[in-house]
Amino acid sequence: MTLNKRTKLVVGFATCALVAAPVAAFAGGHGDNTRAAKKAIIGGKARNVILLIGDGMGDSEITSARNYQVGADGRLAMDTLPLTGAYTTYAVQKDKPSIPDYVTDSAASGTGWATGHKTYNGAISVTPDEKSVATILELAKKSGFRTGDVTTAEVQDATPAVLASHVVDRDCKGPAVMEGCEVNLIENGGKGSIAEQMVATRPDVLLGGGSAYFEQKSTAGQFKGRTVTDQARAGGYQVVTTADELAKATADKPILGSFAKNNMDLEWVGPKPTLEGTAPASCAPNTARTATQPHLADMAGKALDVLGQQTKKSKKGFFLQIEGASIDKQDHAANPCGQIGETIAFDAAVKKALDYQKSHKDTLVVVSADHGHTSQIVEGPTKGYTATLKTLEGGEMTLSYATADITGSQQHTGTEVRIAAGGPQAANVLGVTNQTDLFFTMRRALGL
């Protein structure tokens, strides 16, 4: 058997649990793609929508992961979506919403595609004047679609939270941490913390970390004195805490998967950047990773399997969001291998979605990010912190983190980011759009 160059690269890294299989790219090369591009433009309705979000996954983060894992001329699964555009991500100022906040956080940006509304940094699906606005997941559920929300972060973290809760501050994750969200307290006539609202909204599949907040007790209302996990069970959820339990969970009841106290463990480890730069080094699997935690692709596969079973005989399909959360968190931490490992793990989840779409052509798949981030691919040491990685194709790639001190948190950036799609309505990501436009694209696709 002869192995082509890309296959060899992947085999060479077989020690690492997460390897995105190389896939044929749609665009590029020396051929004429006109017919393929025309064929990819499909109007009409989608039975299912799968939205995959790489948190903080700007073009730089995608490129460094590609260079490292499949080579500069290789293609990740996310690179093979047929139609690609860019969208703007800015937030707005709370006190003066006509003025942009050019650098968004995950709460404002998530609210953008979840609701179609621009809002202020920190807002979870509320407008600048703190009014709750319906989300794509809530609208889909109300209309008879099944729904799922999957992340590697706490499920109460901003990106998953924007689909199924409404609070004025993203930090109000559980009933014991409601400072700043007095207006959302149940005792004040609100709907409670993010954790309480999410299990009340009751997506059919809710997977990630964040058990710390589910173990907090409600301070008022029907479930006063009981944990949010109790509330979930009362609402019919089967609660699973390990990969094995998740694999065995059945489709006849909603699934709450809570696999870590806070964020789930990282896939990879590697060199820490310094002011002088580092000797070229490779990334390695994180041996400290809790073995009972599922990988993002495992959670994505299970969610697709369960939602597919649940909708097999019904008229309506499903809406599912899958987030690779710690691309962002490791970019904040100036951890190149952490960041790349999470991007590759996210890409494996994209592959699951694309495989599902192959046998369910009436599925819209969208892959995007919520905002750009710090990491830059540079030539050598910079004014900031750099580390050099030995890529699997034999090159040396230097990444720079230069928006904060090494002990601080590197910053988001205000750049536009990639949005790619395939399936019905995918043409609406072409050109330069606004993040809020994605809400209308998905709503139109599902006929909501």
Catalytic residue annotation:
106
Residue 328 lies near Zn ion (rule: CB under 5 A) = yes
Angle at 214 between CA 213 and CA 219, to 5 degrees: 80
* Contact flag: residue 330 with Mg ion (CB under 5 A): no
Side-chain half-sphere of 189: how many Cα atoms within 13 Å?
A: 1
Which of 127/159 has CB closer to Mg ion? Answer: 159
Part of the chain binding Mg ion (CB under 5 A), chosen from 30-38, 317-325, 342-350, 372-380: 317-325
Instruction: Name which of Zn ion, Mg ion, none residue 193 binds, using a CB cut-off of 5 to 8 Å depending on partner kind.
Output: none
For residues 183 and 187, give the distance between their C-alpha atoms in angstroms, rounded to a whole number. Answer: 9
Q: Is 15 helix (H, G, I), strand (E, B) or coil?
A: coil
Pick the stretch among 149-157, 255-263, 321-329, 396-404 that binds Zn ion (CB under 5 A). 321-329
Interaction of residue 349 with Mg ion, rule CB under 5 A = no
Residue 323 interacts with Zn ion (CB under 5 A): yes or no? no
Other Cβ atoms within 10 Å of 38 Cβ, number: 8
- Residues paired with residue 83 on neighbouring β-strands, in sequence order: 421
Would you tell me the crossing angle of helices 106-115 and 437-446 to the nearest 10 degrees?
40
The token pair that represents 13 in the structure block: 């890294």
Q: Which is nearer to Zn ion, 323 or 328 (CB)?
A: 328
Cα separation of 173 and 17, whole Å?
Answer: 31
- Closest to Mg ion by CB, 106 or 368: 106
| Burial per residue of 74-113, b for 16 or more beta-carbon CB atoms within 10 angstroms, e otherwise | bbbbbbbbbbbbbbbbbbbebeebeeebebbbbbbbbbbb
* Count of chain residues binding Mg ion (CB under 5 A): 4
Among the listed ranges 38-46, 215-223, 225-233, 320-328, the one in contact with Zn ion (CB under 5 A) is 320-328
Between 160 and 199, how does the x/- string for binding to Zn ion read (CB under 5 A)? ----------------------------------------
The stretch near Mg ion (CB under 5 A) out of 36-44, 102-110, 293-301, 406-414 is 102-110
The encoded tokens of residue 99 equal: 């003025």
342 interacts with Mg ion by CB under 5 A? no
Binding interface with Zn ion (CB under 5 A)? 328
Binding interface with Mg ion (CB under 5 A)? 55, 106, 159, 325
